[in-house]
Copies of this chain bind each other. A is one copy, B any other.
Amino acid sequence: MKTADAKKSYQNLKGMGLTGAHLRSIVYLLDLDQETCMPSAGIGYRADLRKLVSELRHKQMTSKKLKSALESLCSLDGEGKYAEQLTDEQKASVREFRRDYLRDNKLTASFIRKMSDATTHALDAWKIAKQNNHFRTFAPHLKEIVKLSQKKAELIGYKEHPYDALLDEYEPGTTVSFIDKVFSELREKLIFIVNKRKTMKSNQIDTSFFTKSHFPLSHQKELCTQIVKQMGLPQENFNLSETAHPFCSALCPQDIRLTTHYDMSDFRKAYFAAIHEAGHGLYEHNLPMEHLGTPLAEAASHAIHESQSRFWECFIGHSPAFWRNQYPKVKELFPGAFDSISLDHFVQSINTVNPSLIRIHSDEVTYGLHVILRYEIEKGLIDGSIQVKDIPKLWNTMMKEMVGVAPPSDKEGCLQDIHWSLGAIGYFPSYALGNLYAGALFVHMIKTHTNWEQKAASGDFIFIKDYLKDKIHRHGRRYTPIELIEKATAKKFSSADYISYLETKYVS
C-alpha cells in the first residue's frame, strides 16, 4: 500500500467514525434531556428514540464499509497487523478502532435491543423499589440483567473469568486476577486507616456548623460556576444545571454539560459535586478536536475519567492550599455561616473519616471499601456463586465487616446505586481504580511542581489543568490506561502512591 492510500483509507475510516460520534452525541443528548427537562410522561417515546439512535450507531460502527476500511489498514484476526505506512499515532488509533469493531461486532442487534428493553424496565422498577424499600420489586429485573450480562460475557469472550469480558468494556485490558490483587491490598490498608483514624483526636471535631445555616440557591450557583471557571473550563463551553444525581455529559469538546444538586442547608454537596463533574468536563474539553471521530479524541477509560474528577474533588478540592484561596469567598457569600470557624478547623472538618452507608456521600477512605464490596458481589453474580435473592443479606454482612456499619434498610444498602438497573455491571471497579490512578498522578505532580500549594493558595489552578491536559487529556486513547499512567508518572504503576497519600494525610 502506498502512503497516500493509507492516508486516504484512514481519512475514510475517520469520516465513518465521525458519524458514529455524532450519533453517540445524540444518545447523550437524549439522556441529558431526560434527566434535566423531559416531562415524566415522555419516557415511553424517549425509550424509542434512544433505541433507534443506538441501533443506527451500532449499524454504523459494524458496517461492511467500516470493516473494509479497517481491513485495508490492519488485519482483523490474530493480534492485528498494521499497515506500515501509518504514523504511530494513526496505528494507535486504528488499534482502538479495531478493538471497538471486534467488540461491537460480537454484540448482535438483537442482544442490544434486549438489553435496551431490559434496562428501560429495570430502571423504572429500581426507582420504585428504592422508594418503597422493597428489594423484591427490583429482583426479577436484576436477575434478567445478570442473565443478559452473562450472555454478553459469552458473546464477547474471555480467557479466565466471565467478568473479565465486562470489565474490559469500562477498563480495557483489566482482569479479575489483576483487580483481585490490587483490591485485596487496598482493602486491608483502608480498613486499617479507618480503624486507626477513628481513635484520633483530629477526627473528633465538631462539624455541626456545616448544616446550621441557610445557603441561598443563587449564591450556591454563583460559587459553583466560579470554581468551574477557575479550574479552567471557559464559560462558553459549559452549562451547569441541576439534577437529582450530578453528572457530566460531553456532547463534544466544545459542549460540556455539568449538573449538580443543591442542598439549601449544606453548600458542600453542590460545590464538591460541581468540582468533581468539572474534573470530568475538563478531560472531555481538552481531548484533541483534530482527531474527532477517532479513538484519539476519546477518553482512555472510565477509571482514567474517574481519576480526573477525583483528582480535583479530593486531592485538590479537600487540600488546605485550595481552601486558603476559596474559604474567604465562601465566607463572604454566606455571611454568618462560618464566622467562628478557623480555616484549619474548616479544612479538618471536610476531611473527617466516618463509617457511612451511602457510597456517594462517603469520605475518601471509606469510599474504596464501598466499591470493593460492590465488585465482590458483581463478580459472584456473573460467575454464579452469588444469587440475586441473597444480595440484601450479603450486602449487610459485608458492610458490617468492612465499613463497620450495617444499613438499616435496603434503600440505604443494596438499592442505593443506579448502575445495575442500567446494565452497567463491570463499572464499579473503575471508581476505585480511578482513585489509585489519581493518587499516582498527584504524587507525581507535587514532586514536579514543588510550589503547587503556594500557587493554588493564590487562586491559580490553571497549572493543574495544564498538567492533566499534558499528561492525560491530549492523548485520548493513544495508550492503554496503565501505559498512560506509567508514561505520565514515569514509573511502574502500583497502588502504593495512593495508599501512602492516604496514610500521610489521615494517620500520620
Give the interface of A toward B (CB within 8 A): 19, 22-23, 25-26, 29-30, 32-33, 36-42, 44-46, 48-49, 52-53, 56, 234-239, 241, 251-252, 254-257
Contact = CB atoms under 8 A, between A and B. Distances in A.
A127 to B, nearest CB: 15
A465 to B, nearest CB: 17
A30 B49 CA distance: 13
Given A19-B52, A25-B45, A26-B49, A36 B37 contact: yes
A185 B69 CA distance: 64
Ranked nearest first, the 8 interchain pairs of A and B with the lowest CB-CB distance are: A42-B255, A45-B252, A41-B236, A41-B254, A40-B236, A39-B239, A22-B52, A41-B237
A133 B252 CA distance: 33
24 contacts: A19-B52, A22-B48, A22-B49, A26-B26, A26-B53, A29-B29, A32-B33, A37-B241, A39-B235, A39-B237, A39-B254, A39-B255, A39-B256, A40-B236, A41-B234, A41-B236, A41-B237, A41-B255, A42-B255, A45-B251, A45-B254, A46-B255, A49-B251, A56-B56
Contact of A255 (B45, B234, B255): B45
Given A26-B53, A49-B25, A53-B26, A39 B238 contact: yes
Nearest to A19: B52
A23 B234 CA distance: 32
Contact of A254 (B36, B37, B44): B44
A29 B46 CA distance: 11
A42 B56 CA distance: 23
A104 B56 CA distance: 22
Copies of this chain, complex-wide, total 2
A256 B52 CA distance: 20
B33 A29 contact: yes
Contacts of A36: 37
Nearest to A36: B37
A104 B13 CA distance: 30
Given A19-B52, A48-B22, A52-B19, A42 B254 contact: yes
A257 B19 contact: no
Contacts of A235: 39
A39 B241 contact: no
Contacts of A256: 39
A394 B36 CA distance: 46
Nearest to A48: B22
A99 B123 CA distance: 41
A15 to B, nearest CB: 12
A32 B255 CA distance: 15
Contacts of A22: 48-49, 52
Contacts of A37: 36-37, 239, 241, 257
Contacts of A46: 255
A255 B25 contact: no
A41 B44 CA distance: 32
Nearest to A51: B22
Which of A38, A45, A48, A251 has the most chain B CB atoms inside 10 A of its CB? A45
A281 to B, nearest CB: 11
Contacts of A49: 22, 25-26, 251
Contacts of A42: 237, 251-252, 254-255
Nearest to A289: B45
A255 B38 contact: yes
Contacts of A41: 234, 236-237, 254-255
Nearest to A252: B45
Contacts of A32: 33
A174 to B, nearest CB: 31
Nearest to A285: B41
A49 to B, nearest CB: 5
A232 to B, nearest CB: 15
A263 to B, nearest CB: 19
A229 to B, nearest CB: 12
Contacts of A39: 235-239, 254-256
A39 B44 CA distance: 28
A26 B57 CA distance: 15
A239 B52 contact: no
A55 to B, nearest CB: 10
A116 to B, nearest CB: 14
A42 B32 CA distance: 15
A259 to B, nearest CB: 11
A252 B22 CA distance: 23
Contacts of A26: 26, 30, 49, 53
Contacts of A23: 52
